[in-house]
Structure 1
Amino acid sequence: MKLITPVVERWLEEARENPEAFWSKAAEQLPWLRRWDRTFEWTPPTFRWFIGGETNLSYSALDHHVKRGWGGHTALIYLNERGERRLYTYAQLLHEVERLAAALRGLGIQRGDRITIYMPTFPEAIMLMLAAVRIGAIHLVVFAGFGAQALRDRIEASGSRLVFTADVTYRKGKETNLKEIVDAALAAGNGSVEHVVVLQRSSQPVAMQAGRDLSWQEFLAQATGQSGSYLPLEANEPAYILATSGTTAKPKLAVHMHGGYQVHIHSMGQWVFGLKPTDVWWSTSDIGWVVGHSYIVYAPLIAGATTLAFEGALDYPTPDVLWQIVEEFAVSGIFTSPTAVRLLMKYGDEPPSRYNLSSLERVFCAGEVLNAPAWSWLQESVLRNRVPVIDHMWQTETGGPIFGNPYGLGMLPIKPGSATIPLPGIEARVVSPLDGSPLGPGEKGVMVITRPFPGLIPTLWGDPERYARDYWGILPGVYYTGDSAHVDEDGYVWFAGRADEIIKIAGHRIGTIEVETAFLKHPAVAEAGVTGRPDELRGEVIVAFVVLKQDYEPSEELKRELLKTVRTELGPVAVIGELNFVNMLPKTRSGKIMRRVLRAVTLGRDPGDVSTIEDETSVAEARLAWQRLQSDLSPRYDQRPWYPIPWLPSITRSQGSLSGRLASGWSCS
């Protein structure tokens, strides 16, 4: 049975047959200031797109829409967990961005200079991003909540001249003092930093360093006599740099360009997300991550849509925050993370049942694999199959989606747990991690990209050698994603976790995602994180860390049930060495489980750089649970019987699913 529709197949074939013509056609959908001379040049490992073309992200996001008469349309809605609401039209947002651009020029910021933005997801931070790219400066956004050392490392690596911060940020009813963190980061010396600009939000006094620190009002005063106009920029000039999210120990500073990045996020915004000017679009991410850059700020504004920016936690002050906002603002599209879905699933079906969600047309997830049980809860229990819940995959380094279900071109059948297919213009394959040889359907290997595409970073800031080594040098001639995957007989891609997190048990390779998904099949489990530990007999066995839903308590009986569930789902290959109950998992601020931390805890090692972690107490808790388990004299659970049955759900035709919205009409049963 062929699942890829003729329409989507035509797009894929067009991209394969003539990729340069394909991407040139995509680029023509944007308002260029000067058309490019050549579409693509590739001198491995680096490359350039749309050479000679002139553009500007800020112009495409703002000026273009005001010129076409869209200035009165709402561009940005800001809201936070304290109930504050602010709205800006495209004309208003442009006016504010021009003021900040002029102020940046007043402080001497020029084309190519770097600025660091250490601020919450709120309007002033977004305006600063747009103002920086407007004048050809390069912004580095650092998640507001990272510690002083992580901030310092990023400021130094970027060579930033200015640091922008707020005095505080809000999360779960608490205020985090950002200015104190900035002061600590710069305590050993300012380095390249000339000024720290502080936007005061609270009524408490803020310590200001004479000669270095400026208030927001003092910063705005620098705009006097300066122009806020946009600067035409060649397509291959850097727009921003951003550290990778940190599931590995050493974040890298990815560099995205004005031209190729813009083409990729705009194209995928249409092809994958169906972004359109009439959308009220909500990406629940933070501007400190690439999702926030691409799909809170740039792509929705380039599309002319209304974008929501939310500061706070999705379950504070009550578990129904997300559903309340969907109803209040008639949200039509949501982009969230599997972590957020599992968090909301923990609270059950009742909170969303109180709200009118009829405005919602589609929901997208990325960041980690959307496990089938979490997908089923949102798709079936909450949304009643009225709208699709769609998984997809990308990286900080790709700027936008590279694997997904092309909702905007005509949706394909959904296979829960699969990222679907390589998207048009993305040439990918699964290969052997040993020699790079292509693998067939069902064979597990590592995913690689065989040809650059416009959203892919062409270098790392200040470290081209590391770029060549880490991305194009592991398996020569291909871009190494670092993700383990296989492709099924229908061409659908199944990611199993990072390649260095694959667990090898008695010669069998099993993905961390597969095991975590099996745990989630039990109704008591809210989240699970697994890793491997050495075992003399089998090579490795699985160590699991499990978070329970609110109405469940740890017990030996529950532990036995969970082990039986995993073995029923995955068969005898999934040998569970230990199972630990914890209150939280170590995760990055962008929601990815830090399995290397779980492995370090299991092996009694230093977890290394945890500056990107959401809550450092999760490391201590995992370590305590592990130590407690080691002193437990109860029987080893890897000796208990197995009950293997097939794991993955079948895909069958469902008449009338999604209320006729999906042309394919497929769903999971």
Structure 2
Amino acid sequence: MLCSNLNDNIMNYESFYKYSLEQPEDFWREQASRIDWYEKPQVVLGKDENGYPLWFPDGTLNMCYLTIDKHIADGHGNDIALIYDSPVTQTVKKYTFNEVKTEVAKLAGGLQALGFGKGDTAIIYMPMIPQTAFAMLACARIGVIHSVVFGGFAPHELAVRIDDCKPKVIITASSGIEIDRLIAYKPLVDEAIEVAEYKPEKVIVLNRKLGARVPFKKYDVDYGALVYGSEEADCVPVESHHPLYILYTSGTTGKPKGIVRDTGGYATALLFSMKYIYDSAPGETFWAASDMGWAVGHSYILYGPLLNRNSTVIFEGKPVRTPDASTFWRVIADHKVRVMFTAPTAIRAIKKEDPDGLLIKNYDLTCLKYQFLAGERCDVPTLEWYRSHIPVPVIDHWWQTESGWPMLANQMGLEPLPIKPGSATKPVCGYDIRIFNEAGQELPAGEEGLVVIKLPLPPGNMLGLWENEARFKAGYFSKFEGYYLAGDGGYKDTDGYCYITGRVDDVINVAGHRLSTADMEEAVSTHHHVAECAVVGINDELKGQVPFGFVVLKAGDDSPPFKIEHEIVQLVREQIGAVASLRSIVVVQRLPKTRSGKILRKLLRAIVDGETFALPSTIDDEAIIGEIQHALAKYRREQVS
């Protein structure tokens, strides 16, 4: 099924993409003209003092105006902007653009009254509730640079971020709700401030009145009272390259990297993506089932959909157990979602609980036009399972926190390309993606290497790392002059389709043979009993490294583990060959993941190899580590006996 609202004069992908590479300034000038600038940029592409590309450097604008006030001025104030759906509190509430503007402008006015303004930084430490979006927009309205940190992050991790970005204010809530517990946020914030060297001036606290303890400190300000007692603030014009936000992502040194996003280039790129990648029309409902603490949340829960005048869903829940594996389908049906975006791991979780898709049949999903997947490579069985139950295009696409928007995708707003399962399709307009070997030579079709992107990166990509220019250059641009190093491996086929095989360190060396664990996972996942899997490379005295697999079985599966383990070993041998040397398979109840659904393979390697490890701050549930260790110990006892 192809898109139902494509224009008759739809543009051809190849010619449009070629135009974006050969005439980038003309291409992005046209896209920037769709933005309402306070001062329209005369320069399309400039450079900063270090020679890094700056898009639209002499333009001024305001992101909050573009996402809220503009639509009100255009007569859409009573349209629905936000849909808050919280199965964990059994709440559904809708906000019009007028209602959002009132609360956001008053919160912005309260921030100004407290002495905060353009160029200051703020940390937002909140759950998936409307006030998180209000806080982000209020900061954007007055030029305060926000940094969203997952609510519930450990105090130490929050303190690290406080010391790095030095927020003058923290905006938080009394609590967040996980599937089976209430998490009090305020004590965690207070502990983080006590540990941190830098001390914020104020902490603004929203009391959700769910029973969490809210200890009072002298620096506290009540959110409700602040909003109620403040005047509405006007939008403050900012330069195109003014930082909109800082978003922390894990770094190889253990210290998180603060990705800095600009305003003008980001707004231009997001509006482009809503039209040409997601083919989402103004007024439709768009749902990114992610968290505001991730790049997906910033780009496609908040800023992208609202720029495009979509109704956007803020979902406080999980794909399963809130209350069951039908939650996603219920939300789609209830709110007439046209385009959905989630991580493959969410679909795998649903597939595990409802392998035959019986719950899907309870809902009318004819409103859904596309299902987009990103965050991890989508294995073919998961993609095919979805398509067998919901007959819409399932689009696997690839991007990173650093890019802020997709780099590989099937651009559905152009003439859609044939879908090749396992591929994220072709480069998005503006991205000149190559596959290099270690020597910087471009590889022919079919050969796997390092994914790199020729400079300049298109608008919307990171402006830098927060106050760390040296790390920015060393981490991304030092290996190959004039190219951005993505850190992922991949290859192109003879049709120019790109396949991302995972992080470079997920390629293992078995007795001199370089093998992709992603390929092995692809083979393992084809076993009819397997719901999820992870394959990692562990140390081996003879071969250097050997693969080690973890599998999660489908719900209700009572097959003997030893039988499944034997079948999987044979399956990998048949599909990849004996050289893969996959001999060890452990059946576990679940896999350790980040909150965005990425499997923590590095952690699994450390557990199997018996190395000391620090729990990543992004881990979804720490209790899972004990479960993995217990399953591994049981497996090893059985092997000895």
Q: Same fold (TM over 0.5)?
A: yes
Residue 448 (structure 2) aligns with: 444
Q: Output one character per residue of 1:266-290: Cα deviation in whole Å (capped at 9) or x when no partner.
A: 1112111112113111110010101
Query: Counterparts of 1:100 and 1:476 in 2: how far apart (Å)?
Result: 45
How big is the shift at 1:37?
Answer: 2.2
Contact 1:337–1:591 (CA under 8 A) maintained in structure 2: yes
Residue 35 (structure 1) aligns with: 40
How big is the shift at 1:61?
Answer: 0.3
Q: Sort the Cα spacing of 1:173 and 1:609 in 2 relative to 1 into closer, same or farther, 3 A.
A: closer
Over the matched positions of the two proteins, sequence identity in percent amounts to: 36
2:494 pairs with 1:492: no
2:432 pairs with 1:427: yes
Q: Output one character per residue of 1:389-412: Cα deviation in whole Å (capped at 9) or x when no partner.
A: 100000001010011101111211
Contact 2:594–2:600 (CA under 8 A) maintained in structure 1: yes
Query: Counterparts of 2:619 and 2:611 in 1: how far apart (Å)?
Result: 17
Residue 128 (structure 1) aligns with: 135
Q: Output one character per residue of 1:351-397: Cα deviation in whole Å (capped at 9) or x when no partner.
A: 111111111111000000111000000012x11xx310100000001
Calculate the aligned-residue CA RMSD, in Å. 1.8
Question: Which deviates more from structure 2 when the two are superposed, residues 335-344 or residues 452-461?
Answer: 452-461
Query: Counterparts of 2:340 and 2:250 in 1: how far apart (Å)?
Result: 21
2:125 pairs with 1:118: yes
2:215 pairs with 1:208: yes
Residue 543 (structure 1) aligns with: 548
DSSP 3-state at the match of 1:75: strand
2:91 pairs with 1:84: yes
Residue 606 (structure 2) aligns with: 600
Contact 2:550–2:585 (CA under 8 A) maintained in structure 1: yes
DSSP 3-state at the match of 1:268: helix
How big is the shift at 1:446?
Answer: 0.7
How big is the shift at 1:204?
Answer: 3.1
Query: Counterparts of 2:609 and 2:342 in 1: how far apart (Å)?
Result: 33
Contact 1:582–1:622 (CA under 8 A) maintained in structure 2: yes
Query: Counterparts of 1:246 and 1:344 in 2: how far apart (Å)?
Result: 30
Q: TM-score, normalised by structure 1?
A: 0.90
Q: Sort the Cα spacing of 1:205 and 1:374 in 2 relative to 1 into closer, same or farther, 3 A.
A: closer
Residue 140 (structure 1) aligns with: 147
Residue 237 (structure 1) aligns with: 242
Q: Sort the Cα spacing of 1:328 and 1:232 in 2 relative to 1 into closer, same or farther, 3 A.
A: same
How big is the shift at 1:215?
Answer: 1.7
- In structure 1, list runs of 5 or more residues that go unmatched: 636-669
Q: How does 1:531-610 map to 2 (within 5 A)?
A: 531-553=536-558, 554-610=560-616
2:382 paired residue among 360, 366, 374? 374
Q: How does 1:130-529 map to 2 (within 5 A)?
A: 130-188=137-195, 191-204=198-211, 206-220=213-227, 223-224=230-231, 227-244=232-249, 249-315=254-320, 316-346=322-352, 347-348=354-355, 349-380=357-388, 382-383=389-390, 386-432=391-437, 434-451=438-455, 452-529=457-534
Query: Counterparts of 1:519 and 1:277 in 2: how far apart (Å)?
Result: 41
DSSP 3-state at the match of 1:633: helix
Question: Which deviates more from structure 2 when the two are superposed, residues 181-190 or residues 510-519?
Answer: 181-190
Question: Which deviates more from structure 2 when the two are superposed, residues 544-553 or residues 485-494?
Answer: 544-553
DSSP 3-state at the match of 2:44: strand
Query: Counterparts of 2:198 and 2:85 in 1: how far apart (Å)?
Result: 35
How big is the shift at 1:249?
Answer: 4.2
Query: Counterparts of 1:567 and 1:454 in 2: how far apart (Å)?
Result: 45
Question: Which deviates more from structure 2 when the two are superposed, residues 371-380 or residues 248-257?
Answer: 248-257
Contact 2:399–2:405 (CA under 8 A) maintained in structure 1: yes
How big is the shift at 1:171?
Answer: 2.1
Question: Which deviates more from structure 2 when the two are superposed, residues 533-542 or residues 492-501?
Answer: 533-542
Residue 651 (structure 1) aligns with: none
Q: Output one character per residue of 1:174-223: Cα deviation in whole Å (capped at 9) or x when no partner.
A: 21111121122123357231111111112537443332112223332562
Q: Sort the Cα spacing of 1:558 and 1:20 in 2 relative to 1 into closer, same or farther, 3 A.
A: same
DSSP 3-state at the match of 2:402: helix
Query: Counterparts of 2:210 and 2:511 in 1: how far apart (Å)?
Result: 61
Question: Which deviates more from structure 2 when the two are superposed, residues 5-14 or residues 261-270?
Answer: 5-14
Q: TM-score, normalised by structure 2?
A: 0.94
How big is the shift at 1:245?
Answer: 5.5
Q: Output one character per residue of 1:62-111: Cα deviation in whole Å (capped at 9) or x when no partner.
A: 11111111111111100101320111111111111111110110111110
DSSP 3-state at the match of 2:194: coil
Query: Counterparts of 1:210 and 1:594 in 2: how far apart (Å)?
Result: 37
Query: Counterparts of 2:342 and 2:351 in 1: how far apart (Å)?
Result: 13
Query: Counterparts of 2:421 and 2:568 in 1: how far apart (Å)?
Result: 21
Query: Counterparts of 1:45 and 1:546 in 2: how far apart (Å)?
Result: 47
Residue 666 (structure 1) aligns with: none
Query: Counterparts of 2:27 and 2:190 in 1: how far apart (Å)?
Result: 49
How big is the shift at 1:21?
Answer: 1.2
DSSP 3-state at the match of 2:134: helix
Runs of 4+ in 1 over 6 A off after TM superposition: none
Question: Which deviates more from structure 2 when the two are superposed, residues 509-518 or residues 541-550?
Answer: 509-518
Contact 1:486–1:494 (CA under 8 A) maintained in structure 2: yes
Query: Counterparts of 1:440 and 1:479 in 2: how far apart (Å)?
Result: 19
Residue 5 (structure 2) aligns with: none
Residue 56 (structure 2) aligns with: 50
Residue 6 (structure 2) aligns with: none
Query: Counterparts of 2:243 and 2:131 in 1: how far apart (Å)?
Result: 22
How big is the shift at 1:33?
Answer: 1.4
Residue 663 (structure 1) aligns with: none
Question: Which deviates more from structure 2 when the two are superposed, residues 612-621 or residues 286-295?
Answer: 612-621
DSSP 3-state at the match of 1:576: coil
Q: Output one character per residue of 1:315-372: Cα deviation in whole Å (capped at 9) or x when no partner.
A: 1112211111111111111000011010111122111111111111110000001110
2:136 pairs with 1:96: no
Query: Counterparts of 1:334 and 1:306 in 2: how far apart (Å)?
Result: 12
Q: Output one character per residue of 1:3-46: Cα deviation in whole Å (capped at 9) or x when no partner.
A: xx981011111012111111111111111111112111246662
Q: Sort the Cα spacing of 1:412 and 1:248 in 2 relative to 1 into closer, same or farther, 3 A.
A: farther
Q: Sort the Cα spacing of 1:191 and 1:36 in 2 relative to 1 into closer, same or farther, 3 A.
A: same
Residue 7 (structure 2) aligns with: none
How big is the shift at 1:634?
Answer: 5.5
Contact 1:75–1:305 (CA under 8 A) maintained in structure 2: yes
Counterpart amino acid of 1:326?
I
Query: Counterparts of 1:245 and 1:591 in 2: how far apart (Å)?
Result: 15
Q: Sort the Cα spacing of 1:558 and 1:609 in 2 relative to 1 into closer, same or farther, 3 A.
A: closer
Q: Sort the Cα spacing of 1:115 and 1:543 in 2 relative to 1 into closer, same or farther, 3 A.
A: same
Contact 1:545–1:622 (CA under 8 A) maintained in structure 2: no
Counterpart amino acid of 2:271?
H
Query: Counterparts of 2:197 and 2:212 in 1: how far apart (Å)?
Result: 23
Question: Which deviates more from structure 2 when the two are superposed, residues 153-162 or residues 389-398?
Answer: 153-162
Contact 2:162–2:196 (CA under 8 A) maintained in structure 1: no
